[in-house]
Amino acid sequence: MTTLQRAEAAEHALSQELDRIVVKSVIYTSGERDPRVPVPRPPDQGKLYMMGQDPRLSRMPDRPTLFDFFEHRFAPASHVLQSARLAQKSGAGEKVVLACLLHDIAIAGFIRGDHGYWGAQLVEPYVDEEVSWAIRYHQALRFFADESVGYKYPEMYVKLFGPDYKPEPYIERDYRYAREHTWYMTARLICVNDLYSFDPKAQVRLEEFTDVVGRHFRQPKEGLGFDASPAAHMWRTIMSPTRYL
């Protein structure tokens, strides 16, 4: 069996022990199977489908905060924690530090593709517009060097994507737009403080950013996911990614 097949077998065996049937979404399985082909309905075997808490996941509080998501869904989050600390130590403003802390949470808890855009949408209702804007456009800026601030095209990208990789036209378009924007440097500083090869031994505590988050993140009293904001459903999806509907 391949590594993927072994992982699938182990997950299937675990799911068989659950009281509820778990159905994977199309986007979860796309690439491993043709999404045009209907997903076969698993045998019910007298079980109900998962519509609540998945016992395989850490239980979230009733009114989850941003830090709760870091603890239960984004952990260990070493990359963004180290990026935020680097920004802090380099003397960046608190908006930049917050943007560095949040810039990759979509990768950590939601989806990798277009993570800058998804991440910005996740936090837009709760942060200053400049912060969400910077998170959105770091997606494009990271593919283009800016020697004036010491940012080079990451060697890691050459290793990951090959020396001939060329960003898609929409990335080039958004880079040109962001390059001329008032908040360009806020987004660029995310790239400058991004760590493309971070230290796995470094210890950064989330509590180091309690004051920054407290001053610049508008935590809803109902809890993230339950405040009826335009992004609430995204937080609920991260909270309960295996719900049937």
- What pLDDT digit, counting tens, does each position of 200-224 carry? 888 999 999 999 999 999 999 999 9
pLDDT at 11 over 90: no
Residues 81 and 101: beta-carbon distance below 8 Å: yes
pLDDT value, residue 4: 61
Round the average pLDDT of the chain to a whole number and report it.
Answer: 91
- What pLDDT digit, counting tens, does each position of 61-91 carry? 999 999 999 999 999 999 999 999 999 999 9
Domains of the chain and CATH, by start: 3-49 (no CATH), 66-237 (1.10.3210)
pLDDT value, residue 12: 60
Q: Which alpha helices (H) appear in the chain, and where do they start and end?
A: 3-16, 26-29, 66-69, 78-89, 94-102, 105-109, 115-123, 129-141, 155-161, 169-179, 184-193, 210-216, 232-239
- What pLDDT digit, counting tens, does each position of 121-154 carry? 999 999 999 999 999 999 999 999 999 999 999 9
pLDDT value, residue 214: 97
pTM of the model: 0.89
- What pLDDT digit, counting tens, does each position of 165-209 carry? 999 999 999 999 999 999 999 999 999 999 876 788 889 999 999
What CA–CA distances, in Å, run from 117 to 106, 213, 222?
9, 21, 25
